[in-house]
């Protein structure tokens, strides 16, 4: 008797639909909460609500709205606008997305999104507000930064409040020349000066307690316009976030150990004893975070000279061969912006002399002694000078002895050191 092949006469459950599985007619699968039957053999054809040439919806998902004139008795009600699946997710209709669909689509789309390396203040992030029944809200990168700063400022000194070099109320670092002297302020066009921020300029501004100090950074080149035919003192005002704002005044700043700050409008007073700065407004002198970085002389239409103040309130001339000789006066630009309180003259041996070996150093006592052989040192706000009055440039003790003897100038080199002492 011949065999009659009737093919598949019943449904075959294949479980959850998988994109790589080859399905036959009458295979059934589940997909996004619904159940579907294959109308013909297929592979990779997504089951679609409402039916296609490949699949027929068999058991409806009761949380998904259907389209067209199809109806479902137990359709859920949405409290807000439904999310529409995109064609990339396999649906070109206008059906609302199920909870399961949304849950899987969000991480998929985040992962597929274009990457951004550095956020800007206006960028937004999603957040679940636990204080408002866990509703979804947005949070800007600007507010994230501000919140983190407030938090970490309670644990550590902020960068803008931590002195780096240990010297306060000064420029701590910036562009220097080959001798190591600061040169980040230079002559610009017309009545402008240039401030070089290519190498960051670190400005320290004291505020009393160290924890109240501010540290500012100039990290980009900028210019400052100055008044004509004047000597201007240029400064940086440091904000709480480290932002520096340039300014100038024709009134020389006051540095005093203590006392009443000047109230003259635009006059800056720094009280060394309390390490605080004040700026007069004509009536009072409120505390300010302001540090002077140099001074500039202008003519009618151009800048004629610029002084960039020494870094960290310290000047070291570096060594010069052979010490000063008879009736000589040597002046160096210390560029401290204040009178030096500590000055030193240092000799270093370059050829054996008086029992001293090469690289031995001696520190010369300054001022008038028992004779005129002792070099004299004088200082102004931006210079330090030494003068020698007689033929003998230095009377020193022989190494290991008690006899005062004149050095041989050609066997020694010298340098000058000056600092403001605070």
Give me the phi and psi of 37, to 5 degrees please. -115, 140
Token code pair at residue 249? 């005044």
pLDDT digits (tens, 9 = 90+) for 366-389: 654 445 566 777 888 999 888 876
What is the domain-level CATH number for residue 348?
2.60.40
Residues 148-160 have a mean pLDDT of 68
Q: Which pair of structure tokens corresponds to residue 333?
A: 């630009």
Domain match, 319 and 280 both: no
**β partners of residue 332:** 384
What one-character-per-residue DSSP string does 17-82 give? --TT-EE-TTEEEEETTEEEEESS-EES----TT--SSEEEEE--TTS---TT---TTPPPPSSPP
Output the pLDDT for position 379: 86
Task: Check pLDDT > 60 for residue 50.
Answer: no
Distance CA 288, CA 309 (A): 20
Mean pLDDT of 279-307: 97
What's residue 101's pLDDT? 67
pLDDT band of residue 263 (cuts 50, 70, 90) is very high
User: Is 118 within the bounds of a domain?
Assistant: no
Residues 215, 239 contacting (CB under 8 angstroms): no
* Whether residues 183 and 257 fall in one domain: yes
pTM to 2 decimals?
0.62
In this structure, the answer to whether residues 179 and 304 fall within a common structural domain is yes
CATH number at residue 301: 2.60.520
Mean pLDDT of the chain: 83
pLDDT of 398 above 80:
no
Lowest mean pLDDT of 22-26, 158-162, 335-339, 394-398, name the range.
158-162
Number of domains the chain is built from: 4
| Integer Cα distance of 393 and 381 in angstroms | 26
- What share of the chain has pLDDT > 70, as a percent? 79
Q: What is the pLDDT of residues 160-183, one digit of tens each?
A: 445 555 789 999 999 999 999 999
* 139 and 264 share one domain: no
Last residue of a domain, one of 153, 173, 208: 153
Residue with more model confidence, 57 or 197: 197
Q: Domain boundary at 309, 338, 354, which?
A: 309
pLDDT (average), residues 39-61: 76
Q: Comparing 93-97, 200-204, 269-273, 320-324, which segment has the lowest mean pLDDT?
A: 93-97
> Would residue 50 count as lying in a domain?
yes
According to DSSP, the β-strands at 27-31 and 12-16 are: parallel
Q: Which residue segment(s) compose the domain that 385 sits in?
A: 315-419
- Domain shared by 301 and 225, yes or no: yes
Residue 149: which region, alpha, beta or left (left: phi > 0; alpha: psi -120 to 50)?
alpha
pLDDT at res. 61: 57
Calculate mean pLDDT across residues 132-146: 88
Q: Is residue 374 classed exposed, middle or buried when 0-12, 13-18 and 19+ CB atoms within 10 A define those classes?
A: buried
Distance of alpha carbon 262 from alpha carbon 281, whole angstroms: 9
Last residue of a domain, one of 309, 340, 371: 309
Give the whole-angstrom CA distance, residue 208 versus residue 237: 16
pLDDT at 113: 83
Share of the chain above pLDDT 90, in %: 45
Q: Which stretch of 212-226, 265-279, 392-406 has the lowest confidence by average pLDDT?
A: 392-406
Position 214 in a domain: yes
Of 329 and 97, the one with more pLDDT: 329
What gap in Å lies between CA 182 and CA 174, rounded to an integer?
7
pLDDT tens-place string over residues 339-350: 988 888 899 999
Give residue-wise pLDDT tens across range 54-104. Answer: 888 876 655 444 444 444 444 444 444 444 455 455 455 555 556 666 666
pLDDT at residue 106, as a whole number = 74
- Residue 324 in any domain: the answer is yes
Q: Looking at the structure, do residues 143 and 103 belong to the same domain, yes or no?
A: no
- Comparing 397 with 42, which gets the higher pLDDT? 42
């Amino acid at each position: 008797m011949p065999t009659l092949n009737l093919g598949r006469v019943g449904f075959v459950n294949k479980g959850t639909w998988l994109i790589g599985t080859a399905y036959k007619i009458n295979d059934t699968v589940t997909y996004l909460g619904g159940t579907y039957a294959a109308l013909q053999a297929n592979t990779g054809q997504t089951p679609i609500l409402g039916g296609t040439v490949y699949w027929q919806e068999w058991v409806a998902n009761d949380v998904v709205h259907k389209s067209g004139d199809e109806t479902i008795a137990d359709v859920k009600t949405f409290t807000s606008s439904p999310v529409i699946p995109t064609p990339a997710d396999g649906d070109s209709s206008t059906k609302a997305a199920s909870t399961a669909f949304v849950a899987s689509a969000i991480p998929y789309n985040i992962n597929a999104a274009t990457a951004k390396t550095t956020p800007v203040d206006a960028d937004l992030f999603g957040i679940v507000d636990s204080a408002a029944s866990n509703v979804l809200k947005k949070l800007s990168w600007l507010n994230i930064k501000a919140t983190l700063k407030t938090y970490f400022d309670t644990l550590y000194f902020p960068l803008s409040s931590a002195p780096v070099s240990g010297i306060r109320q000064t420029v701590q670092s910036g562009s220097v020349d080959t001798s190591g002297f600061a040169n980040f302020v230079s002559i610009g066009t017309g009545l402008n000066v240039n401030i070089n921020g290519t190498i960051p300029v670190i400005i320290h501004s004291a505020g009393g307690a160290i924890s109240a100090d501010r540290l500012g950074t100039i990290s980009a080149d900028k210019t400052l316009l100055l008044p004509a035919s004047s000597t201007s003192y240029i400064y940086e005002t440091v904000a709480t976030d480290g932002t520096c704002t340039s300014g100038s005044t024709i009134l020389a700043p006051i540095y005093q150990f203590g006392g009443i700050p000047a109230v003259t409008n635009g006059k800056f007073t720094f009280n060394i004893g309390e390490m605080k700065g004040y700026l007069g407004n004509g009536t009072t002198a409120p505390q300010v975070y302001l540090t002077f970085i140099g001074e500039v002389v202008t003519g009618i239409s151009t800048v004629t000279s610029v002084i960039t103040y020494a870094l960290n309130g310290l000047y070291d001339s570096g060594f010069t061969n052979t010490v000063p000789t008879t009736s000589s006066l040597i002046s160096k630009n210390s560029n401290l912006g204040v009178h030096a309180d500590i000055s030193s003259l240092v000799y270093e041996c370059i050829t054996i002399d008086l029992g001293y070996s090469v690289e031995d150093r001696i520190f010369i006592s300054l001022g008038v002694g028992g004779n005129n052989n002792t070099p004299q040192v004088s200082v102004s706000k931006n210079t330090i000078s030494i003068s020698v009055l007689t033929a003998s440039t230095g009377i020193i003790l022989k190494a290991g002895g008690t006899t005062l003897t004149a050095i041989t100038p050609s066997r020694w080199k010298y340098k000058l050191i000056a600092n403001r002492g605070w």
